[in-house]
Structure 1
Amino acid sequence: MTPTVPVVCSITSGKGGVGKTNLAVNLAIQLAQLGKRCILLDADLGLANVDVLLGLTPERNLGHIFEGMGVDAILCPSGYGFSILPATSGGTELTALSTGQKLELLAAMDELEDQVDILLVDTGAGVGDTVLYFNVAAQERLLVLTPEPTSLTDAYALIKVLHLRHGVGRFHVVVNMAASDREAKDVFARLAGACDHFLEGVSLDFLGVVPQDAAVRRAVTHQVPVCVHAPDSPAATAVAHLAQTMAAWRPQEHADGNIKFFWKRLLFAGA
């Protein structure tokens, strides 16, 4: 039997406040409902909040790997068909770990290879070193932005840094909180135009739009994902369509495409 080769997808943004983590949580739910074995890694190491959106209080996080725990003991069931790997909020960043700790984390994460079809990595926002490392390591990158001008300029800045410093040239784009499909397509067109004009070799794929929806705010208040709180709402329906597209993704042929490959690139990038 051919071993399972997971897809690793970062969910990222140039600025905070664009609904990135909320989108990641709801995508994980929808992917699980489509039969995908999904794990969501909270990679916002300084401001981890996936657990908050889910109303969870994990007892363990990635830091416990260095106390001898296996990754299975750290995984936290979400209650919605997928598991989360909680980050250490305000703790030591991965790039500050010793070589021995890097190897230890690498070995632990490799245990997941046969347990997951798609690993979603909810990165921090901006262009910090940790955000860049996670994005460089992933096979697929889902860039989230909103129609706000600052979101557009910051998204372009993230693309520019990843492309010029690390050779990353392919991105999937989701416009969140859009007033209409037309507005979302206009935002994407402006981003694509800037990339075409100033960044040779960048390819943007318009994955879709999630409309502005009051149901999302109500769901966040109740700490219940909108796909569960209001499954027929416009936002939940849009996320379901995004998940259907992502469920068809396959690992890139030119990459190792497994969890060990992901972490090796992450932990030793720039070393």
Structure 2
Amino acid sequence: MAMQPVQVIAVTSGKGGVGKTNVSINLACQLARLGRRVLLMDADLGLANVDILLGLRSGNNLSHVLVGESQLKDILIPGPFGITIIPAASGVRQMAEMTPAQHAQLVRSFAALQDEYDVLIVDTAAGISDSVITFSRASQYVLVVVTEEPTSLADAYGLIKVLNRDAGITRFKVLCNMSGGELQARKVFERLCDVAERFLDVNLVWVGAIPRDEFLLKAVALQRAVSDLYPAADASQAFRRLAEDVCRWPMPSASRGHIEFFAERLLAVGSEAGQSW
């Protein structure tokens, strides 16, 4: 059987407090409901919280992989709907201070997971740290989460500017979270688009809005994914529509020639395509 590429999505934001990790978790859950084999990486290396938001207990985590005490496959923990989670460390200063070379080493370690997943969601830290730049560049898609707050828009623009300048990323997906309505969310996107496309060599693509939903807040308090606990909630339905959209995003056909998650599978796909051609 031919080796298939993994769809890799970095979920990121210019500032904290926009619900980025909730987006990562619920997108993972809804993709799994659609039959995708999903791996969710907590890439906020020093202040991890995916396992906390889901009420899960992890033993070893990425900090143990970094020092050679564990292999990546040994720290995986199961999550709702059959998703698999890679937990990171919380309050470990060495993880927050990893070098770009160490980030690259971590990306390469995914080769050991072989042909087990269809999608990798990388829940990055907020802001413009080295890890955000490395992990975004190593992904095929960058999903920027914003809210309707002016500070969120300003910080999202700053993030896009840095990723464009330092990582060469030119295409971004944009999701408005905790939205007061589709029309309002669209206006937020248009404001961001006007500024970013005027001053930067980028293309922003609207992927929708997640409504402000009291059921999501209840789910957070109970340490569960809203998609799991309240599947009929407005937020859950919006995450499902997002997941359906993600399933239509084109898969990569070859490696781009730099450090990427699951790069060996991209190389294999490119080689097979070349042979068939």
- Aligned position for 1:269: none
SS at match of 2:144: strand
Counterpart position of 2:30: 30
C-alpha distance in structure 2 between counterparts of 1:129 and 1:203, whole Å: 23
DSSP-derived class of the 2:81 partner: coil
Instruction: Tell me by how many angstroms 1:165 deviates.
Output: 2.2
1:164, distance to aligned residue in structure 2 (A): 1.8
Q: Secondary structure at the match of 1:80?
A: helix
Match in the other structure for 2:116: 115
TM-score by length of 1: 0.89
Residue correspondences, number:
260
Q: Does the C-alpha gap of structure 1 residues 234 and 90 become closer, same or farther in structure 2, counting only changes over 3 Å?
A: same
Q: Matches of residues 251-270 of structure 1 in structure 2 within 5 Å?
A: 251-255=251-255, 259-261=261-263
Question: Residues 150 and 106 (structure 1 numbering): CA distance in 2 closer, same or farther, change over 3 Å?
Answer: closer
Identity of aligned pairs, percent? 42
| 1:40 alignment counterpart | 40
Mapped contact 1:46–1:90 kept (Cα < 8 A): yes
Is the deviation greater in 120-129 or in 72-81? Answer: 72-81
User: Per the alignment, in what secondary structure is the counterpart of residue 141 of structure 1?
Assistant: strand
3-state SS in 2 of match to 1:21: helix
Runs of 5+ in structure 2 lacking a partner?
Answer: 265-277
Question: Is 1:173 paired with 2:148?
Answer: no
CA distance in 1, matches of 2:20, 2:57: 20
Task: State the Cα deviation string for residues 18-46 of structure 1 (Å, max 9, x = none).
Answer: 00001110111111111101000000011
| TM-fit CA distance, 1:68 | 4.5
Alpha-carbon distance, 1:81 to partner: 1.2
DSSP 3-state at the match of 1:114:
coil
Q: What is the CA distance between 1:240 and its match in structure 2?
A: 0.2
1:11/1:24 contact within 8 Å kept: yes
1:202 matched to 2:202? The reply is: yes
- For 1:259, the aligned partner's letter is F
Q: With the length of structure 2 as denominator, give the TM-score of the two structures.
A: 0.87
Q: Which aligned pairs between 1:86-165 and structure 2 lie closer than 5 A?
A: 86-91=87-92, 92-93=94-95, 96=98, 105=106, 108-165=109-166
**Distance of 2:107 and 2:143 partners within structure 1:** 24
Q: CA deviation at 1:90?
A: 2.9
**1:102, 1:162 → 2: CA distance?**
16
The amino acid across from 2:241 in the alignment is H
**Structure 1: gaps (5+ residues):** 263-271
Shift of 1:259: 3.1
Does the CA-based 8 Å contact 2:100-2:131 persist in structure 1? no
- Tell me if structure 2 keeps the 8 A contact 1:38–1:82: yes
Alpha-carbon shift at residue 2 of structure 1 (Å): 1.5
CA deviations 1:166-221 (Å, max 9, x no partner) are 2111000000011110100000000000012111x201110010011111101100
Instruction: Assess, with a 3 A threshold, how the Cα gap between structure 1 residues 238 and 51 changes in structure 2: closer, same or farther.
Output: same
**Alpha-carbon contact 1:93-1:130 (below 8 Å) kept:** no
Distance apart, 1:106 and its partner CA: 5.5
What is the match of residue 213 of structure 1? Answer: 213
Moved over 4 A (4+): 101-107
SS at match of 2:114: helix
